[in-house]
A and B are shown apart, each in its own frame.
Chain A
Amino acid sequence: MSEGVSEADRPEVLAGAGPDLFSKFDGVIGMRTALLDSGVTDPFNLVMEKVLSPTRAICSGRDTILLGTYNYMGMTFDPDVIAAGTQALAEYGSGTTGSRVLNGTYQGHRECEDALREFYGMDHAMVFSTGYQANLGIISTMAGKGDYIVLDIDSHASIWDGCALGNAEVVPFKHNDIDAMEKRLRRIPEGAGKLVILEGVYSMLGDIAPLREMIAVAKKYGAMVLVDEAHSMGFIGPNGRGVAEDQGVLDQVDFVIGTFSKSVGTVGGFCVSNHPKFEILRLVCRPYVFTASLPPSVVATAATSIRKLMHGADKRARLWRNSRTLHTGLLEQGFRLGTSETQSAIVAVIMPDLERGAMMWEALLREGLYVNLARPPATPANMTLLRCSLCAEHSEDEVETILGMFQRAGKAVGII
């Protein structure tokens, strides 16, 4: 081997180097090594070689049913959506190469925001490059020094990171605990600005929030309310506007955060609001200003998909049927689930530990089924979960096939 060629198994030691900044990751490296040494396939390194439809892909040469993609409404291969994206790609090019506030707002970005305003029946809509950035930007910009953010302890990473990026006082409360939330609101010093952050569906266990009660309490203490409806858009509520709509309190929500990477079927994030001063955020929100806007093809697919979701009653019904069938079936087989009844299109199967969770995940993959493996610290109470998300395009037969796969894998691994 000639000099100067780096070999992966023999890392160079830099002379005179100080403490290795990577030593803080030794815990995670150890956890990963232990998992892989047990002989299982790496659950965090899966490659989809071909994608056949919203519900099927080829993984490691195997035809695999997809049950962990959040592609709830199966819009990724919708012919109208694809046509809109193809046309925009040809007419507007592959990317905007610019910020929304400079050269990065095309006709398509405006049309996408128009579609969102119509979908939610709200005055303002602001599209971000990802859902993560929507939370990061809105939360860190709106709640500043001296303000208080009161949020559920099981909030998504993007919400926590939005809190960390800003300067507000951050006060968490126990998951879905209305009394715990009220106590914290009551103790906030008089005159301080207050933002309550909730989610419609919590994605780890697939449970929903008692938004009606919680928002009433937040309003009693004069707080503004932000609800992340990432996992409800398109199929919860009479018009698919989410859990707040379903519980009849959408008009009390000051800011709805959502994403294009689940039901909408592409990538991007957004915030919709009726706040009269909302538009100023376009100038002061750094994760909106200092990044390139979405490519024209992406906003065209998003706008088309959002407009189709307004009339998705049949798909919604199929998604709920599939979710109930899987939830009920898995409970009957003896699996422990995140919720006792079907609350969303997420069915979280609780594993006894990470090792058996990874074994079960691999056994399912061998059966030809992909689910999400979720492990601590991303999970509540340090649980290991196999998260299943249903799609409106799963056929009834496919759901029965999935149940058979779970039963065989669960018995082989000794979980049921």
Chain B
Amino acid sequence: MDRAAIDSRIRTLIEPFNKKDVAITDATTFAGDLEFDSLTVMDFVAEIEDEFDVIISMNQQAEIENYGQLVTAVGTLAGNDA
């Protein structure tokens, strides 16, 4: 799975969480731009973990601030060179 495919699947997953229809780029931040609180983060992370069959530990989540970093991290976790 290449980066574009991962990006497109995460884009679909994020839709119901993107309540304000923020235009998403790699630089979009979860806490700042999307205003995710800790409960939203948990639900969103669970969706991604199930979709890609990976674990994103809280330690790893702390390093992921924006959308681009998430796509990269999922690529690495799923064993691809995204």
Stretch at the interface among A83-91, A183-191, A204-212: A183-191
Which residues 167-216 in A have Cβ within 8 Å of B in the complex?
169-174, 180, 183-184, 187-188
B50: Cβ under 8 A from any A Cβ:
yes
Known A-B contacts A172-B42, A381-B39, A382-B39; A183 and B49 likewise in contact (beta carbons under 8 Å): yes
Q: Which of B11-19, B21-29, B55-63 faces chain A?
A: B55-63
Q: CB distance A188 to B58 under 8 Å?
A: no
User: Are B55 and A184 closer than 8 Å at their CB atoms?
Assistant: yes
Asked if B42 and A153 make an inter-chain contact with CB atoms under 8 angstroms apart, the answer reads: yes
A171-B42 contact in complex given A183-B49, A187-B49, C-beta closer than 8 Å: no
Indicate if the CB atoms of A180 and B57 lie closer than 8 Å. no
**Is B31 interfacial (CB-CB < 8 Å)?**
no
**1/0 contact string of B46-75 vs chain A (CB within 8 Å):** 100110011101111000000000000000
A381 to B58, CA, bound (A): 19
Which residues of A lie under 8 Å from residue B8 when comparing CB positions?
none
- Which residue of chain B has its CB nearest to the CB of A183? B50
Inter-chain contacts of A169 with B (CB < 8 A) = 55, 57-60
Out of B37, B38, B57, which one reaches A171, CB within 8 Å?
A: B57
Contact A171 B58 (CB under 8 A): yes
List of B residues within 8 angstroms of A148 by Cβ: 55, 57
> Cβ of B58 and Cβ of A187 under 8 Å apart?
no
Would you call A171 and B55 a contact (CB within 8 A)?
Answer: yes
The proximity string for A residues 144-171 relative to B, scoring 1 for CB distances below 8 Å and 0 otherwise, is 0000100001000000000100000111
Interface size on B, residues (CB 8 A): 14
Contacts of A170 in B (CB 8 A): 57-59
State how many angstroms separate the Cβ of A183 from the closest Cβ of chain B. Answer: 7
Which residue in chain B gives the minimum CB-CB distance to A180?
B46
Give the complex CA separation of A174 and B46 in angstroms: 9
- Whether A61 sits at the interface, judged by CB under 8 Å, is no
Minimum C-beta distance from B5 to chain A (A):
20
A187 touching B53, Cβ below 8 Å: yes
Asked if B55 and A187 make an inter-chain contact with CB atoms under 8 angstroms apart, the answer reads yes
- Verify if A377 is at the interface (C-beta below 8 Å from B): yes
Residues of A within 8 A of B38 (CB): 377
Bound CA–CA A6/B55 (angstroms): 53
A167 to chain B, nearest CB (A): 9
Given contacts A183-B49, A187-B49, are A174 and B57 in contact (CB under 8 A)?
Answer: no
Find the A residue at minimum CB distance from B56. A171
Q: Report A363-385 CB contacts with B as 1/0, cut-off 8 Å.
A: 00000000000000100011000
Given A381-B39, A382-B39, also A187-B54 (CB < 8 A): yes
Using CB atoms, name the residue of chain A closest to B53: A187
Contacts of A382 in B (CB 8 A): 37, 39
Distance in angstroms between the alpha carbons of A174 and B55 in the assembled complex: 14
Q: Which residues of A contact B58 (CB under 8 A)?
A: 163, 169-172
**Bound-state Cα–Cα, A173 to B59, Å:** 15
- CA A382 to CA B40, docked complex, whole Å: 12
Q: How far is the CA of A382 from the CA of B60 in the complex (A)?
A: 24
The smallest beta-carbon distance between A157 and chain B, in angstroms, is 13
Smallest beta-carbon distance A195→chain B, Å: 13
Once bound together, how far apart are the Cα atoms of A91 and B47, in whole Å? 60
Residue of A nearest to B55 (CB): A187
The interface residues of chain B lying within 8 Å CB-to-CB of A377 are: 38
A382 CA to B37 CA, complexed, in Å = 10
A172 CB to nearest chain B CB (Å): 7
Give CA–CA (A314, B38) in the complex, Å: 43
Question: Which residue from chain A places its CB closest to the CB of B58 in the assembled complex?
Answer: A170
Closest CB-CB distance, B50 to chain A, in whole Å? Answer: 7
Bound Cα distance from A153 to B46, whole angstroms: 12
Q: Mark A230-244, 1 if CB is under 8 A from B, else 0.
A: 000000000000000
- In the complex the two chains form, is B55's CB within 8 Å of A188's CB? yes
Q: Which residues of A contact B (CB under 8 A)?
A: 148, 153, 163, 169-174, 180, 183-184, 187-188, 377, 381-382
B interface list, Cβ under 8 A from A: 37-39, 42, 46, 49-50, 53-55, 57-60
Chosen A-B contacts, 11 in total, with CB atoms closer than 8 Å, are: A163-B58, A169-B55, A169-B59, A170-B58, A170-B59, A171-B58, A183-B50, A184-B49, A187-B49, A187-B53, A188-B55
The 6 A-B residue pairs whose C-beta atoms are closest, nearest first, are: A169-B57, A170-B58, A187-B55, A171-B57, A169-B59, A170-B57
Q: Apart from A187-B55, A382-B37, what are 19 other A-B pairs with CB-CB below 8 Å? A: A163-B58, A169-B55, A169-B57, A169-B58, A169-B60, A170-B57, A170-B59, A171-B55, A171-B57, A172-B42, A172-B58, A174-B46, A183-B49, A184-B49, A184-B55, A187-B54, A377-B38, A381-B39, A382-B39
